[in-house]
Amino acid sequence: MRNLMRLPGARLVLHAVVVIVIWLVMVQVNDRVDPLMNYYIALVAMYATAMFGMVILVGLSGQVSLGNGALMAIGGYLFALTTLNWQTVPILGVPMNGIWAMVFAAVGGVVFGLLIGVLGARLRGPYLAGLTLGIAVGIPAIANRFPDLLGGETGLQLTVPYPEGGYAALDAGFEDQFAEVAPSGEALLPSADASLAPEELLTADNFPSADATVAPEDLLTADTFPSADATVAPGDLLTADNFPSADASASAGDLLTPDSFPSGAASLSPDLGGTDISGVDPTGTSDIDLGFILERWQASLAVAVACIVAFVALNLVRGRQGRVWKAVRDDPVAAAVSGISPAGSKVSAFVVSSLFASLAGAVFAQILSYVGPGAFGLGLSLSLLVGVVLGGRSSLVGAVIGAVLLVWLPQFVLSLSEDRGWDEQVTNNAPNLIYGLLVVLVVLIAPGGLMGSMQTLVAKVTKR
């Protein structure tokens, strides 16, 4: 096995295999879980995508940056602007689609990353942190300056671009499959969730609480929710479909700052949901519960992007470039006399991380069906920092763990508060309080985060 790994390109193949296996597994999971779960999966994948960049920037390159939320904003806004304003791709003339929009987002991210990198990468820690803090606060504020183009404080609603012909066309056997899925779909009702266990990212007991979040807002009635009831009026259906994005606002708001986020109602208007669906569903089979489709698409997309980014990140981190970043982080002078340009290395970390961040931002825009300054504020940047520190500053796996923590903890706290009857004020802020305290504890006790501690533990055990 050792010898096999010495073959040229062996590492590349290994990474490809690992990523593809994960992707295949996730595709199966996406097909089998309910929309809410898919929505969570999409969020986790989105956070992981952004945090792979944070691992490279903060962990390997040692630059504490808060700018990645702003870079996500750039990706998200570019995605929204290009999909909303361009029918065709400029110069090439081919029809605009989601992939092209993501390409523009990525290019924008690289350009801004280069800009910020050139400005910031040579700065010492606290200066860089402060500069990027300014960027995290300042860039989303730009949206307020151009209300016509960027939608101001309320942001921009966007139609998530499905593949041509909708998700249904992508999956030829959709109707059959749906028929198969439907009965088990019943089983996925929040009230009867025991069968969820195998694929769960969330624990079974906190899952129902997700339903509870929604219930007070009366977005769903028990009958409209998961059962594919043919008699459901289109309007109700749309509301049902809209529910996850409403929840998106709410839970993103929890993660970020509870108050800065535009009220869930803003992104909830039924009309918009209406255009969403009618634009998406050319077959007009409104008797099929379309509520399942959007989330599945969002989750598959987010997972696919995360997998591609993970593949690139794996090769960078475990290859020569990863060693260069670490060398410069640990001793810039020694690296410089070994022929490595410290500044170049730091700028490259910035560029890579902002590429990942802008892609994550484009995915985030599609998950929320919305971009706005509140969604990409300082809170998002801080969330990324929290996730990457808790999971393990220098570990890609740690980034995924951190992403899961970011999505899971608020739901967990919510379910706890349901049980204990906590004040809403307490419930809203408990996750951030826990994050803040955990970050401090991790820095003091286990600077390597969860993954770092596990590695030390494993090393200790195997040594004995």
Partner 1 sequence: MMQFVDYLLGGIGSGAIIALMALALVLTWRATRVVNFAQVGQAMFTTFIALSIQTATGSWYVALIGAIIAGAILGVIIQYLVLGPVKRMDTSGAIIATFGVLIALQAAAGMIWGGDSQAYPQPFGNSAITLFGHEWPLSVYDLVVIGFAAVLVVGLTLIFTRTSLGLAMRATAFNPEVARLSGVRVSRTLTIGWGLAGIVGAVAGVLVAPTSTISPNSFDILLVFAFTAAVIGGLDSLVGAVSMGIFTGLLLSVVSGYSDSSNAPVAALVLLALNLLLKPEGIFGHNSARSV
Residues in contact with partner 1 by the rule CB under 8 A? 58, 62, 64, 66, 119-120, 122-127, 129-131, 133-135, 137-138, 141-142, 144-145, 257-260, 328, 332, 336, 342-343, 346, 378, 382, 385-386, 389, 393, 425-426, 428-433, 435-440, 443-444, 447
Q: Which residue number, 18 or 439, has a Cβ lying nearer to partner 1?
A: 439
Closer Cβ to partner 1, 25 or 433, answer by number: 433
CB of 125 to partner 1, least distance (A): 4
How far is the CA of 102 from the CAs of 50, 168, 299, 364, in angstroms? 14, 22, 16, 11
Using the minimum distance from each CB to partner 1, give the nearer residue, 166 or 373.
373
Note whether 6 and 263 are within 8 A (CB): no
Q: Which is nearer to partner 1, 328 or 400 (CB)?
A: 328
Of the candidates 42, 44, 39, 38, the one whose C-alpha atom is nearest the C-alpha of residue 403 is 44
Closest separation in Å from C-beta 188 to partner 1:
33
Residue 328 CA to residue 62 CA, distance in Å, equals 9
Instruction: State residue 370 phi and psi, 5-degree precision.
Output: -165, 145
How near is the Cβ of 150 to partner 1 at its closest, in Å?
12
Output the CA torsion sign for 5, 317, 49, 388. positive
CB of 269 to partner 1, least distance (A): 24
CA 27, 32, 38, 40 torsion: positive or negative?
negative
Cβ 463 to partner 1 shortest distance, Å: 24
Min separation Cβ 119 and partner 1, Å: 6
**In the complex, least distance from residue 140 CB atom to partner 1, rounded to whole angstroms:** 9
Residue in the structure block whose two tokens are 């980034």: 399
* Contact (Cβ atoms closer than 8 angstroms) between residue 41 and residue 26: yes
Question: At 98, which amino acid appears?
Answer: G
CB of 59 to partner 1, least distance (A): 9
| Comparison of 96 and 378: residue with beta carbon closer to partner 1 | 378
Q: Tokens 């390597």 identify what position?
A: 448
Tell the smallest beta-carbon distance from residue 221 to partner 1 (Å).
Answer: 29
- Give residues with Cβ within 8 angstroms of 148, minimum separation 6: none
Residue 192 · residue 211 · CB < 8 Å: no
Between CA 355 and CA 114 the distance in angstroms is 10
**Cβ 78 to partner 1, closest distance in Å?**
18
Query: Closer to partner 1 at the Cβ: 74 or 102?
Result: 74
The residue among 36 and 121 lying less far from partner 1, judged by its C-beta, is: 121
Q: Look at residue 157 and give its three-state secondary structure.
A: strand
Question: How many CA atoms are closer than 13 Å to the CA of 17, on its beta-carbon side?
Answer: 6
291 CB neighbour count, 10 Å cutoff? 24
Least separation in angstroms between residue 309's CB and partner 1 is: 23
Beta partners for residue 370, in sequence order: 157
Classify residue 125 as exposed, middle or buried by CB count within 10 Å of its CB (0-12, 13-18, 19+).
Answer: exposed
Nearest residue (CB) to partner 1, 107 versus 439: 439
Contact yes or no for 122/62 (Cβ under 8 A) = no
* Between 32 and 323, CB nearer to partner 1: 323
Nearer to partner 1, 157 or 427 (CB): 427
- Give the N- to C-terminal CA distance of the chain in Å, as an integer: 24
- HSE of 251, CA atoms in CB hemisphere, 13 A: 29
Q: CB nearer to partner 1: give 52 or 297.
A: 52
Residue pair 217/249 in contact by the 8 Å Cβ criterion: no
Helix axes 342-368, 234-255, angle to 10 degrees: 150
Q: How far is the CB of 256 from partner 1 (least distance, A)?
A: 10
Q: Which is nearer to partner 1, 249 or 257 (CB)?
A: 257
